[in-house]
A and B are shown apart, each in its own frame.
Chain A
């Protein structure tokens, strides 16, 4: 470990400790915002693990998140299982699903993958609703736990920390190196003997795992789970926007995007609840045309210029 990495590690530990103390100093409104932000930090950072180096826009977050939330709800109300057991099962299910999707689509051109994930959340929602209506009978799933908002926040913080550690380890590993080559030129990667399909599938599985884990942890926040709520296509897009806004070529990029966007999004959802979709669209356009490399890109441009 060199001194640069040491510095990042120290900053990371300080930030994590600082973030861990938020529930002690505040509760109510700001804690709930912090919890939402922490959820998005974990989601967008794990999204970037896959989409950052490969440049494939995965729109599956909503689907995996929904699987996490729904399995916790279904396991606890329909089968009387504990929250913890379901929180372990759900990410495993999502990882297997991610593997199957990855194997089917990632061997081919990237566009097919994007299209496949585009309708995924909606399709799984349709399937789940159909199964529930025809075979299970009950519609409402209750997730009743003794967790407070602070507990959920701390759990999400731990997940986010693990995502960061995983990202750091992957970057240093052969897999991370392979993925960067694939992102730069897939043909070159194939010629030097990298199994491009499997490298992508493994990273996609990681993303699916974390998205479902976050979905499972957040489920007690809703307390009442309905397929229409947890399988939200909008979530997939929010995660993409936040990551791109921060910048996806650095591990800490999404973090920089999530915090301002969550605050703006909350403000808009409260003041102009009918304009959220329009705002989402304008944010996408703003990012593509004016900040294509995110805040991190802007920042690095600035410091680069100052050094000259």
Chain B
């Protein structure tokens, strides 16, 4: 029961970060491998403000979101859009964007290491809390609730508003979206920036209960990618289920076998998905 609860709580926070990457990959068509670094930056901001002036990470999240949005918009506009324009086909864009975002990722890690090379850890709401007969740390629950709220807001925005519909249209087919009068470049930039903001906020929340460090971003990128592939690219509901599964499996492996094997567990899931359901949990088999 303990495993079930804390696994689901962890999965909820994972879902948020995967949702961010899903917007960037599903809509803007950029495989952003610097996504994990955004997450760590969000965590680093929370750490700073908390240790320096005891500001609650929940308030930090409100500051992180617009900053990350602006930063990611600039990255898309000035680093990635030129690549989109230059590439002749999707394959070329994939290779270029993978390499460029690796560059961004390493550059960010390099900057973060020189600013704060030690572990990013602080103690916020680390009190026990009873839920359904088992005890969890309060910070996990708060992070989960915040993630769920943001996720729900995002879901409603995507499905109920005009801009959200445009985003979904671009994710289905860029060319067709352009034909019906959607400014694809603007929507892509919006989705990329929004995705970065969501991931960074996810990082702020995760940092309340997981110890991060400057170079751990790539592990989170990996996990977000596994979640997206398991859920099906562009499928938000699939990603949420996949995130909960990953959270559960990781927590189970960490408690029952060894905490050092969580990445290996994620790989086992990844392998199973690739072998049996490469189209995603709810995707339909194409061709």
A positions within 8 Å CB-CB of B: 55, 57, 104-105, 108, 110-112, 114-116, 118-119, 122-123, 126-127, 129-130, 134, 233, 237, 244, 274-289, 292
Given A116-B270, A119-B263, check contact A277 B215 (CB 8 Å).
Answer: yes
B114 within 8 A of A: yes
Stretch among B93-101, B178-186, B240-248 lining the A interface: B93-101
In the complex, the answer to whether A115 meets B222 with C-beta atoms within 8 Å is yes
In the complex, the answer to whether A126 meets B274 with C-beta atoms within 8 Å is no
Write out the residue numbers on chain A whose beta carbons fall within 8 Å of the beta carbon of B264: 123, 126-127, 130
21 contacts between A and B (CB under 8 A): A57-B95, A108-B278, A112-B229, A119-B267, A123-B264, A126-B263, A126-B264, A129-B260, A130-B258, A274-B114, A276-B110, A277-B110, A278-B106, A278-B107, A280-B110, A281-B104, A281-B107, A284-B102, A285-B79, A285-B103, A288-B96
The smallest C-beta distance from A198 to any residue of chain B, in angstroms, reads 17
Write out the residue numbers on chain B whose beta carbons fall within 8 Å of the beta carbon of A275: 110, 114
Write out the residue numbers on chain A whose beta carbons fall within 8 Å of the beta carbon of B133: none
In the complex, the answer to whether B267 meets A123 with C-beta atoms within 8 Å is yes
Measured CB to CB, the nearest residue on chain A to B95 is A55
The smallest C-beta distance from B218 to any residue of chain A, in angstroms, reads 7
B13 within 8 A of A: no
Write out the residue numbers on chain A whose beta carbons fall within 8 Å of the beta carbon of B225: 115, 118
Write out the residue numbers on chain A whose beta carbons fall within 8 Å of the beta carbon of B31: 111, 114
In the complex, the answer to whether A122 meets B263 with C-beta atoms within 8 Å is yes
Write out the residue numbers on chain A whose beta carbons fall within 8 Å of the beta carbon of B226: 115
- State A128–B109 Cα separation when bound (angstroms): 26
- State A282–B124 Cα separation when bound (angstroms): 36
In the complex, the answer to whether B260 meets A126 with C-beta atoms within 8 Å is yes
Write out the residue numbers on chain B whose beta carbons fall within 8 Å of the beta carbon of A111: 31, 94
Write out the residue numbers on chain A whose beta carbons fall within 8 Å of the beta carbon of B54: none
Specify which of A57, A134, A274 is in contact with B98 (CB 8 Å cutoff): A57
In the complex, the answer to whether A281 meets B260 with C-beta atoms within 8 Å is no
Write out the residue numbers on chain B whose beta carbons fall within 8 Å of the beta carbon of A237: 102, 106
Chain B residue total in the interface (Cβ 8 A): 46
Given A55-B95, A278-B111, A287-B99, check contact A112 B274 (CB 8 Å).
Answer: yes
In the complex, the answer to whether A57 meets B219 with C-beta atoms within 8 Å is no
The smallest C-beta distance from A212 to any residue of chain B, in angstroms, reads 19
The smallest C-beta distance from B257 to any residue of chain A, in angstroms, reads 8
In the complex, the answer to whether A281 meets B103 with C-beta atoms within 8 Å is yes
Which chain B residues (71-114) contact chain A, with CB distance < 8 Å? 79, 82-83, 91-92, 94-96, 98-100, 102-111, 113-114
B132 within 8 A of A: no
In the complex, the answer to whether A104 meets B260 with C-beta atoms within 8 Å is no
In the complex, the answer to whether A118 meets B110 with C-beta atoms within 8 Å is no
Write out the residue numbers on chain B whose beta carbons fall within 8 Å of the beta carbon of A119: 218-219, 222, 263, 266-267
In the complex, the answer to whether B109 meets A281 with C-beta atoms within 8 Å is yes
The smallest C-beta distance from A189 to any residue of chain B, in angstroms, reads 13
B261 within 8 A of A: yes
In the complex, the answer to whether B261 meets A130 with C-beta atoms within 8 Å is yes
Measured CB to CB, the nearest residue on chain B to A282 is B107
Measured CB to CB, the nearest residue on chain B to A114 is B98
Write out the residue numbers on chain A whose beta carbons fall within 8 Å of the beta carbon of B83: 288
- State A244–B96 Cα separation when bound (angstroms): 12
B253-269 vs A, CB cutoff 8 Å, 1 = contact: the mask equals 00000101101101100
Write out the residue numbers on chain B whose beta carbons fall within 8 Å of the beta carbon of A118: 33, 218, 221-222, 225
Q: Which 4 A-B pairs have the closest CB atoms?
A: A278-B110, A281-B106, A284-B103, A281-B107
B275 within 8 A of A: yes
- State A119–B226 Cα separation when bound (angstroms): 11
- State A123–B33 Cα separation when bound (angstroms): 17
B176 within 8 A of A: no
Specify which of A57, A115, A122, A282 is in contact with B103 (CB 8 Å cutoff): A282
- State A112–B226 Cα separation when bound (angstroms): 9
- State A77–B231 Cα separation when bound (angstroms): 44
The smallest C-beta distance from B283 to any residue of chain A, in angstroms, reads 12
Which chain B residues (19-33) contact chain A, with CB distance < 8 Å? 31, 33
In the complex, given contacts A110-B91, A237-B106, what are 8 additional A-B residue pairs having Cβ atoms less than 8 angstroms apart? A123-B267, A278-B113, A280-B106, A280-B110, A284-B100, A288-B83, A288-B100, A292-B96
Write out the residue numbers on chain B whose beta carbons fall within 8 Å of the beta carbon of A280: 106, 110
Write out the residue numbers on chain B whose beta carbons fall within 8 Å of the beta carbon of A289: 82, 100
B24-48 vs A, CB cutoff 8 Å, 1 = contact: the mask equals 0000000101000000000000000
- State A158–B115 Cα separation when bound (angstroms): 44
Measured CB to CB, the nearest residue on chain B to A283 is B103
Write out the residue numbers on chain A whose beta carbons fall within 8 Å of the beta carbon of B94: 110-111
Given A115-B225, A284-B102, check contact A277 B263 (CB 8 Å).
Answer: no
B172 within 8 A of A: no
B62 within 8 A of A: no
Write out the residue numbers on chain A whose beta carbons fall within 8 Å of the beta carbon of B96: 288, 292
- State A282–B258 Cα separation when bound (angstroms): 37
In the complex, the answer to whether A104 meets B274 with C-beta atoms within 8 Å is yes
- State A286–B266 Cα separation when bound (angstroms): 33
